[in-house]
Structure 1
Amino acid sequence: MTAPVLLPRRVEVLAGLSVAIDLGLGQPAEHMLRSAVIACGLADRLALSRDQTATVYYTTLLMWIGCHADSQEYARWFGDDISVRRDAYLVDWSGLPYVRFLLGNVARGEPLGQRARVMATLMRDARGQLAELMHSHCTSASALARHIGLGPDVERTLAFTFERYDGAGLPCGASGDDIPIEMRVAHLADVAEVHHRMYGVQGAVAMARSRRGGHLDPTVVDAFTADAEALFPPSRQDPWDQALSIAPDAEVRLDQPGLDHLLTAIGDFVDLKCPFTFGHSRNVAALGEAAAVQLSLPPDEIAAVRRAGHLHDIGRIGVSNQVWAKLAPLTAAEWERVRMHPYLTDRVLTGIPGLAHVAAIARAHHEHLDGSGYPLGLAAGALGRPERLLAAAVAYQSALEPRPYRDALPPDAAARRLKDRATGGAIDATCADAVLAVAGHTRTKVRRDDTLTSRETEILGLVARGLSNRDIATRLVLSEKTIRNHVEHTYAKVGATNRVGASLYALQHGLVAPKETG
């Protein structure tokens, strides 16, 4: 059988999730990872307990996990939800500078008339409107923390994300020691990382001192400014490696059910980005998995398709809801942002050990056999059966869901749409048939391009990779004679007389085995 791929550690998956959160904040990848390093250094200076430091770590790493869940509301008030979050790091959220910031960002990027209407609505009760928004954020963050298993201490602490030491924060106006020390540390680490990256150590220190006693706890600020430079990760050191090395549960490795639970939760998290996509990732994963079983894919490929279904849209977080919710046709620039989201999915996932193959499948969910898809414009020869299956599942499920520019299609219309795309050469016809079969559109056995068994399909893919009979026998723990018999039967079924012909068939039908990973 195929050599097992080592599953990732829990913190590695959560670190990948933090990179996705960075996208929604408009920050460079690994902002939250660097912030967690700073926060844990502060926790040591403040002599916090081991349990408190563990809470500091995950609070800081994922403190903005709720930010995407209120993206629709942010876009309603501020237009570009990502840009306003990015710029908010440079403003102390109090007094006249904050008011000017709000006024300058209301309905950002919208026509003047729309900006005036939104501003009038917001200014009638600005604090009440923002308090409701922050309450929604904190409630979502706590619920998501519980959903992905971060524990009650992190869940409780995340409720104070928008509070301030001086009591002028939202939604409750908590102040001083009523705010958990873990959040007071996270508050400073989060903004200090941004100011250090933009203005250096002196800029970060100046920011901390200017917010001392207001936004930030004086005791935490004093611990920070005592030797700020020593707290920042060295530029030569990989922030991913450093942050993971100090994780409180760095050695906890996920088992198969644990990984599936966490990836399902992340898919749910992603779908909160837009109200019309909730449940999308679960449904795509279920369709893809069932269709993969229908086509007799090997068990590891079935699992990879299912996991890619849960994760394929994580890059959506990096595109503003101002684009996703637009009613009118997208501009060229907006369309380019949309085309980037599968690439962003790949950027988030490829750093997680053990998920490289899942990442490759997820990245290709908008690629087409005729090369007209995105982000890379891959054509049939570069798309394996798992990639083709996921693309078909995404196309069908998306048609069933409403979008701002169209209503949801009824199942029969969604099926016709998928069949038309298969006929037109964009979607693999066999994979489309499999998706439609498991979605209940036919009771007949799905059409296959061949009569290959699951084992023969697996061997054909390895042949196309250039492995010899001996190599395949070693990999699958079978005798070389057994492999030779399988190869001969496979050649006969696909009408090939040698490895070149068999390899071309495998390439054309998406059967090339994935490269070794992990």
Structure 2
Amino acid sequence: MHAATGPSRAELLAALSVAVDLGLGQPAEHMLRSALIGTRIADRLGLDRAQRDCVYYTALVMWIGCHADSHEYARWFGDDIAVRRDSYSVDWSGLPYYRFLLSNIGRGQPISRRLLTIASLVVSTRAQLVALIHSHCTSAALLAERMGLSRDVQHALGFTFERFDGSGLPHGAAGEHLPIAIRVAQLADTVEVHHRTLGIPGAVAVVRSRRGGQFDPVVADAFLADAEPILAGPPAGDTWHAALHESPDRGERLDGAELDTLLRALGEFVDLKCPFTLGHSRAVADLAAGAARSAGLDEAEVSTIRRAGYVHDLGRIGVSYRVWSKPAVLTPGEFEHVRLHPYLTVRILSQVPGLREVAELAGNHHECVDGSGYPRGVVGGALRMPDRILAAAVSYQAALEPRPYRPALSAADAERRVKERVQAGELDAAATEAVLYAAGRRALRVRPRPHGLTPRETDVLRLVATGASNKEIAAALVISEKTARNHVERTYAKIGVSNRIGASMYALQNGLVN
């Protein structure tokens, strides 16, 4: 793809924001409109260009860390998307907030399990929330760095759950200790939802009620003094273009290498939703590209397949972790959500210039040559060789990975599985052979142990990265839980991270998974 016609970083981040909208339970373009509202408030506050730019990107990706800690959220609240959607109606402070938490703990679980979860959290509510929110904030900053955002944006995201009055988490920062970008972004995010659901009076009312509490009075007053024009437009369907018009770097196009780097980061971001899919997108991309090259496709097609592999699962963000982590057979309604995720991938990417072919290919990764796939049930002739290769690569790679309903398969069993799908008419025979050839070459690679990690610490890191608790690490390695905890702490210290997300990203970047 030529740099002059490729997407900009702002356009790819806009697509990411649409994916995050789905994870928040909000309509597409919620965060884009929040960014637009944020820049209008920034202008009324007289912020300089650098501050305005920081407000824009902070508002656009403010909740990026929520996706990465869906695993932890679901442990407490069951449906990670539903609780985030409903939390917009509550001021995150005092008794109303604790009442909201208690009413949502264990949501959708059997009453006995829900009572145990409530009891576990009530014992140390604040400590548990501090740990969860600290993980969110450090994860958000790390992901923002991977997306190429500035240090100012990374710093601002660390204050997402803080409040102007100092009653927020995790550190209780107050007043002007909160970066101005997050003070504006918090208000913009909240008023966008309340304006959309309750109109201008609802948006004004929520700002007045939280002025001096969650919101900086100066920022609140700037909004209240000019609420109607700040919230005005754009017309339905124009939000994408209007918001991107305000982006800091909308004219700077990515070259091929930069585009690959950012698409790979998007895939890694998606895989963090479920610990058992860590590294899946990158592995699929590499496998599919290798298969495409061995099948004789030209380098342009190989590049397109690799890029589609990186982002094929973006739509997974819009499906609750409760569905992905279910160890039993899905209900028809749950499976319908699963069936939609390739469609959501196309929807997320469809407006990004230069990625139309990538989006279409990514959206076909669960289609089958006999028409039995999803989401569209495309039949044979409509599926090109790149479509068939990507579908075979996804099937083979997924078989190598654990799932809640089965352990990871060996390479031999994964090969047997995809060949059975060929015999059943689901996968293309030539595409599958190309994938198996590429998989055999990949298996020859040696995984390094960087930063002086011992073999045991490397094993611990891989387990942490895939969501294992200290107790589960102890069981897997046949050691005591205390020893497992010590290994985790030493490993974190060696690689310079403080939580599972940091460990996961480190493991990915250093080739320690997949």
Q: How does 1:268-347 map to 2 (within 5 A)?
A: 268-347=268-347
Task: Tell me the residue number matched to 1:35.
Answer: 34
Offset of residue 207 of structure 1: 0.2
Once the two structures are superposed, what CA deviation does each residue of 1:353-375 show, in whole Å capped at 9, x if it has no partner?
11011011100111111111111
Given that residues 233 and 239 in structure 1 are in contact (C-alpha distance below 8 angstroms), is that contact kept between their aligned partners in structure 2?
no
- 2:97 counterpart letter in structure 1: Y
SS at match of 1:405: coil
CA distance in 1, matches of 2:173, 2:148: 26
TM norm structure 1: 0.84
SS at match of 1:261: helix
Task: Tell me the residue number matched to 2:143.
Answer: 144
- 1:244 counterpart letter in structure 2: L
Given that residues 391 and 427 in structure 2 are in contact (C-alpha distance below 8 angstroms), is that contact kept between their aligned partners in structure 1?
yes
Given that residues 37 and 232 in structure 1 are in contact (C-alpha distance below 8 angstroms), is that contact kept between their aligned partners in structure 2?
no
Q: Displaced runs of 4+ in structure 1, greater than 4 A?
A: 2-5
Offset of residue 6 of structure 1: 1.9
Aligned residues: 442
CA distance in 1, matches of 2:403, 2:8: 36
Offset of residue 136 of structure 1: 0.5
Given that residues 92 and 211 in structure 1 are in contact (C-alpha distance below 8 angstroms), is that contact kept between their aligned partners in structure 2?
yes
CA distance in 1, matches of 2:95, 2:342: 40
Task: Tell me the residue number matched to 1:377.
Answer: 377
CA distance in 2, matches of 1:73, 1:9: 33
CA distance in 1, matches of 2:318, 2:303: 26
Task: Tell me the residue number matched to 2:354.
Answer: 354
Task: Tell me the residue number matched to 1:157.
Answer: 156
Offset of residue 49 of structure 1: 1.0
Given that residues 37 and 233 in structure 1 are in contact (C-alpha distance below 8 angstroms), is that contact kept between their aligned partners in structure 2?
no
Cα distance change of structure 1 residues 5 and 413 upon mapping to structure 2, 3 Å threshold: farther
SS at match of 1:439: helix
Offset of residue 112 of structure 1: 1.1
Task: Tell me the residue number matched to 2:436.
Answer: 436
Task: Tell me the residue number matched to 2:485.
Answer: none
Cα distance change of structure 1 residues 419 and 232 upon mapping to structure 2, 3 Å threshold: same
SS at match of 2:199: helix
Offset of residue 441 of structure 1: 7.6
CA distance in 2, matches of 1:29, 1:442: 38
Task: Tell me the residue number matched to 1:234.
Answer: 233
TM norm structure 2: 0.84
SS at match of 2:158: helix
Q: How does 1:192-231 map to 2 (within 5 A)?
A: 192-231=191-230
- 2:177 counterpart letter in structure 1: D
Given that residues 35 and 60 in structure 1 are in contact (C-alpha distance below 8 angstroms), is that contact kept between their aligned partners in structure 2?
yes
CA distance in 2, matches of 1:161, 1:179: 9
SS at match of 1:440: helix
- 2:373 counterpart letter in structure 1: G
Given that residues 272 and 278 in structure 2 are in contact (C-alpha distance below 8 angstroms), is that contact kept between their aligned partners in structure 1?
yes
CA distance in 2, matches of 1:110, 1:352: 39
Cα distance change of structure 1 residues 433 and 201 upon mapping to structure 2, 3 Å threshold: same
Task: Tell me the residue number matched to 2:75.
Answer: 76
**Which consecutive residues of structure 2, in runs of 5 or more, have no partner in the other structure?**
444-514
CA distance in 2, matches of 1:41, 1:360: 35
Bigger radius of gyration among the two: 1
Task: Tell me the residue number matched to 1:186.
Answer: 185
Given that residues 89 and 194 in structure 1 are in contact (C-alpha distance below 8 angstroms), is that contact kept between their aligned partners in structure 2?
yes
CA distance in 1, matches of 2:267, 2:150: 19
Q: How does 1:407-426 map to 2 (within 5 A)?
A: 407-426=407-426
Task: Tell me the residue number matched to 1:8.
Answer: 7
CA distance in 1, matches of 2:154, 2:64: 11
- 1:438 counterpart letter in structure 2: A
Task: Tell me the residue number matched to 1:495.
Answer: none
Given that residues 34 and 233 in structure 1 are in contact (C-alpha distance below 8 angstroms), is that contact kept between their aligned partners in structure 2?
no
Offset of residue 259 of structure 1: 0.5
- 1:361 counterpart letter in structure 2: L
Offset of residue 87 of structure 1: 0.5
Task: Tell me the residue number matched to 2:118.
Answer: 119
CA distance in 2, matches of 1:190, 1:424: 49
CA distance in 1, matches of 2:345, 2:85: 20
- 2:166 counterpart letter in structure 1: G
**Which consecutive residues of structure 1, in runs of 5 or more, have no partner in the other structure?**
444-518
Instruction: State percent identity of aligned pairs.
Output: 59
